[in-house]
Amino acid sequence: MRSSPPRTVLALISALLVAWFAVLWRDERVGSAASARILERPEMSDSDWERSLDELRRAELLDPGTKWTVTRATSLLLRDKRAALRLAQSVLAGEPDNLGAWLVVYEATRERDPRRSARALAEIRRLDPPLPGSARRRQPTRIATASPAADTKLTIQPIHQLHGS
């Protein structure tokens, strides 16, 4: 009994989807491991740092989203704010409503470019407005940033602090 062409096409598409999902699963494992290493040891050696950033780059393989690019930009805030800014801007060129990328732009510019920082803060407020009333009633989004006191200390800052509440 011969297989009909639609079944063959369906089987081929299914196989391709399974392969793509396997790649995305691999990306998640590689990216999560690299991100965890950076968060746990931001003071790691330069060679370990480059290896972790390279793994975050590799986690972008066949991934249509920008999760790992924004994660890499966030990580770069710890050591190279200019590179973090460039990467975040590349995300924003294709996704102007990407909250994570705007958070990176804000953190990368708040100490040296008040105009750009203010624009980023306005976009953050537009994309994640405070709830009516004096207190936010939901868990705020957070961003990992380098502490101004020490480039290797990691700080998790709630967004609601950006809103002045």
What is the rounded (10 degree) CA torsion for 85, 91, 93, 97?
-100
User: How many domains are there within the chain?
Assistant: 1
**How high is the pLDDT of residue 151?**
44
In a domain, 18, yes or no: yes
In a domain, 4, yes or no: no
In a domain, 83, yes or no: yes
In a domain, 5, yes or no: no
pLDDT-derived band of residue 80, with 50, 70 and 90 as boundaries?
very high
**How high is the pLDDT of residue 4?**
76
* pLDDT tens column, 108-131: 999 999 999 999 999 999 999 877
In a domain, 63, yes or no: yes
Flag whether pLDDT at 144 surpasses 70. no
pLDDT-derived band of residue 149, with 50, 70 and 90 as boundaries?
very low
CATH classification of the domain holding 98: 1.25.40.10
In a domain, 2, yes or no: no
In a domain, 29, yes or no: yes
Q: CA dist 158 to 4, 52, 124, 141, 145, Å?
A: 56, 25, 12, 6, 11
In a domain, 3, yes or no: no
Determine the structural domain holding residue 124 and report its residue range.
10-131+140-161
**How high is the pLDDT of residue 62?**
79
pTM: 0.75
Flag whether pLDDT at 160 surpasses 50. no
- Collect all residues with Cβ–Cβ distance below 8 Å to 77 and sequence separation of at least 6: 84, 104, 107, 108, 144, 145, 146
Q: Mean pLDDT of all residues in the chain?
A: 83
The region of weakest confidence among 18-27, 41-50, 99-108, 112-121 is: 18-27
